[in-house]
A and B are shown apart, each in its own frame.
Chain A
Amino acid sequence: MSDHDYQPSSKLGKWFNDRLPLLTLSNHLAEYPTPKNLNYWWTFGGILTFCLITQIVTGLTLAMHYIADSDLAFASVEHIMRDVNYGWLIRYVHANGASMFFLAVYIHIFRALYYGSYKSPREVIWIIGMIIYFLMMATAFMGYVLPWGQMSFWGATVITNLFSAIPFVGEGIVAWLWGGFAVDNPTLTRFYALHYLLPFLILGLVVLHIWALHVPGNNNPIGIDIKKPSKDTVPFHPYIVIKDGFALLMFMIVFAFFVFYSPNILGHADNYIEANPMVTPAHIVPEWYLLPFYAILRSVPDKLLGVIAMFAAIFVLVILPWLDTSKIRSAVFRPLYKQFYWILVIDVLILGYVGAMPAEGLYLLVARVATTYYFIHFLIVLPILGYREKTIPVPLSITEPVLGGSPNPGLIKRKESLN
């Protein structure tokens, strides 16, 4: 990389940097050449980093007051809400922060889907991202159990029971997860320990995610390879820092709206009833961000196959870089993919909606159609589209449509040979 020859200006800086090149790293981050055409959909990486740090900081402070014990957990959460100084604020930021985190991650993922950011050479970034997403779901699920309300308890029961679908060893695995014969105190204490651990694993993976990003550099809205640094790039600081910062402020307005004006709208009233192993709430639903997967689970009438379908729905995303056969990254130049992309977006929204509704009648039918289409999109449409689609010619550089030519002579040659 071009910034390896960086030298700090001060003597002390040089002395330190020779021993631990932290200043080289920070210089790399500041100078990091970024495509100049990045739009606001690219600001969600920074927003997600903010979300993770918010969750860790608020989580740490909540942990100072929360008690992981099936007799005390529910009361300790109420104690946080009523007695602890600003406890209500910290808990509402943490609880809504989870939703905001998922809102941002879904936008981030769908941006990658639209602009083909998962394609070569960025497959590893994408896979690390999917692992982060999966860990986020695990973390959020376990965090939701901690207040020990009715939804906590029954959500935990339903999700852990998913593993009982595994032939032969399923029951043993579930007893092992529970530490008993039902969700109970041992389950709560271990979920607390893991809920504390996983965000730090996510943090580590975020570092790898960014590291892997900085090898090929950012994708961009027109999805072409660009020469770095060149007329097509701007340094990360101050250009992207300011843009990300502005987007973050906008995002924080939405965040603050939920925290201060409707802090419980994304939750369930049932979770303000203490956990009761004798009574299941009439209508169990997971948090909104898990609803599409829940709809897929319920749309299959067989227990094991339902669980397999649900995990497969995540797994097809992991192998997406090899399912999408098109060499063109950005949907801007893929007229058919662009339409299928929006159908997928609608399909996932429908899955989310029916996931929140009772699994019967028309809802069940819609869920089945939407589930089938979800898999058709990834397993049939994307592989075929790469061969069949007539794509629009891509420009040679970001500046080409305006200035003509290309900073990359190789690309000019290639285009000339095509003409």
Chain B
Amino acid sequence: MSEKKPKRREFLFTATYALGVVGVGAVAWPLIDQMNPDASVKALASTEVDVSSVEPGNTITVLWRGKPVFIRRRTQDEIAEAKAVKMEELKHPEKDEDRAKDPEWLVMLGICTHLGCVPLNDKGDYNGWFCPCHGSHYDTSGRIRKGPAPTNMEVPKYEFLNVNTIKIG
């Protein structure tokens, strides 16, 4: 009996602590989760863009979920350049075909994957984009070629509703 008693007490202590931790966690979670994107932010999930006025070689920037999205109508030269790149040369290998369903239109988040700046059009060593913040160079497919950014610029979910309208999101 004298052997058993302390064990029972230890069990009670442990169980109490465990329950206490669960209780504190349950109370803390709402206080933490309130900082996550709220319902009104999530509701702004998609944007429709009229691209009829975009000429080849031009880029428009639209805002989607508070982030800039580049929509570039690429020239034949740019498409050829993007397709000619060998996968081994890429830090984050992705085929151009997988990034631009319609090769004429490149739609991607205009956000440098390094630390979130907006890269500049028609700049850099690869005729694509250049991020002024920390010097990342992207090619005509928005793929990272040089600099600190780890991945290619992200292609969001989008679709052509008709010839002139892109729905992002």
Known: A278-B118, A284-B117. A179 touches B41 (CB 8 A): yes
Contacts of A280 in B (CB 8 A): 117-119, 131-133
Q: Does B25 contact A (CB under 8 A)?
A: no
* Residue contact B63 to A158, C-beta cutoff 8 Å: no
Contact A283 B132 (CB under 8 A): yes
A234 within 8 Å of B (CB atoms): no
Contact A303:B135 (CB < 8 A) given known A179-B37, A180-B66: no
Shortest distance between the CB of A294 and any CB in chain B (Å): 10
A74 within 8 Å of B (CB atoms)? no
Cα separation A248 to B147 with both chains bound (whole Å):
46
Q: Tell me the nearest residue of chain B to A162, going by C-beta.
A: B115
Measured between alpha carbons, how far is A183 from B68 in the docked complex, in Å?
Answer: 12
For the complex, count residues of A whose C-beta is within 8 A of B: 37
Number of residue pairs A-B, CB distance < 8 angstroms: 87
Q: Mark A278-318, 1 if CB is under 8 A from B, else 0.
A: 11111110000000000000101111101000000000000
Least Cβ distance of B58 to chain A in Å?
A: 16
B35 proximity list for chain A (CB < 8 A)? 176-177, 179, 186, 190
A186-B38, A279-B118 as given contacts; A301 in contact with B148, CB under 8 Å? yes
- Contacts A162-B115, A282-B132 given; does A181 touch B65 at CB 8 Å: yes
CB <8 Å contact, B116 and A277: no
**CB-based contact B117/A360 at 8 Å:** no
Q: What is the size, in residues, of chain B's interface with A at 8 Å between Cβ atoms?
A: 27
Cα distance, A300 to B147, chains bound together (Å): 10
A178 to B38, CA, bound (A): 11
Which partner residue on chain B sits nearest A360 by CB separation?
Answer: B135
Q: Does A358 contact B (CB under 8 A)?
A: yes
Point out the residue from A162, A180, A278, A304 that lies within 8 Å of B65, measured CB to CB.
Answer: A180
* Contact status A303-B67, CB under 8 Å: no
Q: Do A181 and B66 touch (CB < 8 A)? A: yes
Question: B167 near A: Cβ within 8 Å?
Answer: no
Contact, CB under 8 Å: A181 / B37: yes
Cβ–Cβ contact B135 & A358, under 8 A = yes
Asked whether B53 is an interface residue with its Cβ less than 8 Å from the other chain, the reply is: no
- Residue among B66, B117, B135 having the largest count of chain A Cβ atoms under 10 Å: B66
Q: Would A303 and B68 be within 8 Å (CB), given that A179-B37, A277-B63 are in contact?
A: no
CA A304 – CA B149 in complex, angstroms? 10
A101, CB-defined interface residue at 8 Å: no
Q: Which of B108-162 contact A (CB under 8 A)?
A: 114-119, 131-135, 147-150
Known: A181-B37, A277-B66. A303 touches B118 (CB 8 A): no
For A340-357 the 0/1 string (1 means CB < 8 A from B) is 000000000000000000
B52 an interface residue at 8 Å Cβ cutoff? no
A303 x B114 contact (CB < 8 A): yes
B93–chain A nearest beta-carbon distance, Å? 18
Given contacts A180-B37, A186-B41, A277-B68, could you give 8 more A-B pairs where the C-beta distance is less than 8 Å? A154-B117, A180-B41, A180-B65, A181-B37, A190-B35, A280-B117, A280-B132, A303-B115
B residues adjacent to A (C-beta < 8 A): 32, 35-38, 41, 61, 63, 65-68, 114-119, 131-135, 147-150
A-B contact pairs, 17 of them (CB 8 A): A154-B117, A157-B117, A161-B116, A164-B116, A176-B32, A179-B36, A179-B38, A182-B66, A183-B66, A186-B37, A186-B41, A278-B61, A279-B118, A280-B133, A303-B150, A359-B134, A360-B135
